[in-house]
Amino acid sequence: KQYYDIILDCTRVLCTRFAEGQGSAVDIHPVMSTYTFEVIGRVGFGHTFDAITKPEECVFLRNFECLSNIQSRVKESSFKISQLVMGLITGDLRELRRCAQAIKGEVTAILAERKKALEQCPVTGGTGACPVKDMATRMLTVPDPETNEILPESLV
């Protein structure tokens, strides 16, 4: 219920994109992947990536796709040692590390942005007392009902 408006907004954007391409073929997998990614970004982090409307400009999504493609290529070999050797020869391991670091950096920046926005919002014991809209905000503001402790940053 709480995330219905977010999902509805993403669905409207998706429908608009389909309407704009009316009459032309649509490769549904990448479009639905960007939709899913956008919903997760908004529900999970309260962050709009514009992945549905501008997938080519979404650096996080490009890095995530790069990471997935490299992992698929590396797994084509059955043996770990050959995966490692091929990854070193092709540069895939270096690129894998770069993508993973870029993704981690962006997530860290998004969480820092959430924390800064929450400085004006006191931690409460209830989800309704503080304007909680996304999962990251919940993790940063809502104490555990049993221990009354906030989730450690290392787990956020």
The residues, ordered by sequence, that sit 6+ positions from 95 with a Cβ below 8 Å of its Cβ are 66, 70
What is the count of structural domains for the chain? Answer: 3
What does the alpha-carbon distance between residue 138 and residue 155 come to, in Å, rounded to a whole number? Answer: 13
Among candidate residues 101, 75, 99, 98, the one with its CA nearest the CA of residue 86: 75
Tokens encoding 63: 């890095």
The residues, ordered by sequence, that sit 6+ positions from 133 with a Cβ below 8 Å of its Cβ are 2, 6, 46
For residue 153, CA distances in Å to 74, 90, 134 come to 32, 36, 16
Q: What angle do CA 149, 154, 156 make, to 5 degrees?
A: 75
Is there a single domain that holds both residue 62 and residue 85? yes
Is there a single domain that holds both residue 47 and residue 8? yes
Is there a single domain that holds both residue 94 and residue 66? yes
- pLDDT for 103-153, tens place per residue? 999 999 999 988 888 877 655 544 444 455 788 888 888 888 899 998 888
For residue 42, CA distances in Å to 4, 67, 100, 137 come to 11, 21, 21, 11
Is there a single domain that holds both residue 82 and residue 43? no
Is there a single domain that holds both residue 40 and residue 72? no
Is there a single domain that holds both residue 29 and residue 65? no
Is there a single domain that holds both residue 67 and residue 102? yes
Domain extent, residue 107, equals 58-119
- pLDDT for 18-31, tens place per residue? 998 888 888 899 99
State the DSSP code for 79.
S
State the DSSP code for 35.
H
Is there a single domain that holds both residue 33 and residue 74? no
Is there a single domain that holds both residue 115 and residue 128? no
Is there a single domain that holds both residue 104 and residue 151? no
Judge if pTM exceeds 0.95. no
124 and 141 Cβ atoms separated by less than 8 Å: yes
Is there a single domain that holds both residue 46 and residue 3? yes
State the DSSP code for 6.
H
